Amino acid sequence: MQEMILILDFGSQYTQLIARRVRELNVYCEIHPWNKVPELGPHIKGVILSGSPFSTRDPEAPKPDLSAIRGHFPLLGVCFGAQYLAHHFGGEVMPSSIREYGRANLAAVDQNNPLTKGMSVNSQVWMSHGDTIKKIPAHYKVIASTSDVEYAGYMIEGETTFGIQFHPEVYHSLEGGILLRNFIVEICGCHQTWTPDSFVDVTVQELREKLGNDKVILGLSGGVDSSVAAMLLHRAIGDRLHCIFVDNGLLRKNEFASVLESYKDLGLNVKGVDASGQFYDALKGLTDPELKRKAIGKVFIDVFDAESKLVTDAKWLGQGTIYPDVIESVSVNGGPSQTIKSHHNVGGLPDYMKLKVVEPLRLLFKDEVRRVGRTLNLPEAILGRHPFPGPGLGIRILGEVNAEKVRILQEVDAIFINGLKEHGLYDNVWQAGAIFLPVQSVGVMGDERTYENAVALRAVSSTDGMTADWCHLPYEFLALISNKIINQVKGINRVTYDISSKPPATIEWE
């Protein structure tokens, strides 16, 4: 089995960042709920305990059984994990007299310790805790402190067990990468062989074994995720992959034709299906975001059910689901992480649909998907394309969706996206789009009063969609785009720009 780091999730908002930092070291890792530990074996090179919204003093707090882990595998407790290792084994954790959230600096660090070697005194770290460790057991040794937290880091003597109160996985912990590399490479002995090339080789082999001679139907969207998933499946099973691109009436302007054109040279078997009428009918009268998502998901499934019956003996539905989709839709593997919103392609299929699901990218982040795509020699025009939500413009139209609102938003979106490309800004933005707002406002065009619709423009920078910051686009560019939209798109008389980051906002408005 492939060597890996096991991350036990206690519900922290940062658990997925730990996974990304581990993978950046070319080491494979998996997140599992603290109460659903997978089979332990020599393929597991080390274990990390995540943070948690719980206090270790809370009667409802997680209480993991570490008897098969501690002392048998290198172990690193982060925040709650560190507090648990101290509190449960004879130390004391109490509410902080000074709550530390945000930046702090190490006042002392043991530069001879295998975990903290190479780190600097005064190194900036990121804290996020309401409790603090007041006392550690006798055989625990302090290896890092801040001016306010004496036990910012410790090790258990005679073991490769460590605890740290700060979050090395967060970018604001400036030397967090040094600490994580020390643990994963030096202490755990990982070989750093998990690369895009190795992922392709392993995944293709696993797909061949899993699928055998079966046929697979895949929903193509023209985006990075479904394209990379298609190429992996194509490499594994060849022409037994049947790709379907559905026009749900919620695509960008002229996207249906352009996407079909882009796949001509890739050797994929692609069929286009216009189902826009079915989607519009299903969305009629719906305004609640979750209801709209579910309606779009249902029609999506219905269309694929109908199309699958046209492919003799098709047994699988391939999807481009990636890790952030899974994390936001459901708790990680049934664990304690918070559900944010449902995704149309996550959560399984209804009983009446007889296709099994295959998701070759389910454990990858967006940046990892792009690296795999380059290994597969996908065109940069596809790999560099901004993410676009599965429900399309249906979740960028606030309120009820209809064909006229879609037409208006398509025109607005085209002006915005083409403007980003023409001004050399497109590649500096991770995702951009326009939102049709459920408000009208007074305006003046010529000598006439107008009472028309408003739109919001959204552009963010990110690496994986888990967090995002709004892009500081030039005022001159925004003024030009706003003027074009108002002058060229009938029905719009006001343009706004969204300057919210994620968190607290999400990238999409619905």
169 noted as active-site residue: yes
Strands 314-318 and 215-220: parallel
pLDDT digit string (tens) for 131-183?
888 999 999 999 999 888 899 999 999 999 999 999 999 878 889 999 999 99
All residue ranges of the chain with pLDDT < 70 are 96-102, 129, 324-353, 444-449, 464
Q: Does the CA dihedral 243-246-252-258 come out positive or negative?
A: positive
Give the pLDDT confidence score for residue 447 in this predicted structure.
57
Q: 0.75 exceeded by the pTM?
A: no
Please give the pLDDT value at position 98: 58
- Of 17, 155, 144, which is closest to residue 74 (Cα–Cα)? 155
Q: Determine which helix (DSSP H) or strand (DSSP E) holds 204, and give its type and residue range.
A: helix 196-211
Q: What is the pLDDT of residue 508?
A: 92
100, 150, 169, 328: the active-site residue:
169
For residue 283, the one-letter residue type is: L
pLDDT value of position 145: 92
Q: Which of 3, 29, 79, 234 is catalytic?
A: 79
**Which listed residue (3, 29, 87, 167) is catalytic?**
167
Q: CA 333 to CA 36: how far, in whole Å?
A: 9
- How buried is residue 424: exposed, middle or buried, by Cβ count under 10 Å (0-12/13-18/19+)? exposed
Looking at residue 188, its pLDDT comes to: 98
**Which one, of 200, 196, 209, 260, lies nearest residue 232 by Cα?**
200
C-alpha–C-alpha distance, residues 231 and 381, integer Å: 15
Q: What is the pLDDT of residue 339?
A: 42
Instruction: Please report, for residues 50, 168, 192, the alpha-carbon distance to residue 195 in angstroms, rounded to integers and kept in the order given.
Output: 24, 22, 8
Q: Element (H or E) spanning 307, and its range?
A: helix 289-308
Query: Is 236 within 8 Å of 212 (Cβ atoms)?
Result: no
Do 20 and 163 contact (CB within 8 A), yes or no? no
Task: Look at residue 282 in the predicted model and tell me its pLDDT.
Answer: 95
Confidence at residue 341, expressed as pLDDT on a 0 to 100 scale: 43
Widest pairwise Cα distance in the chain: 83
Crossing angle between the packed helical segments 366-375 and 224-237, to the nearest 10 degrees: 40
pLDDT of residue 131: 83
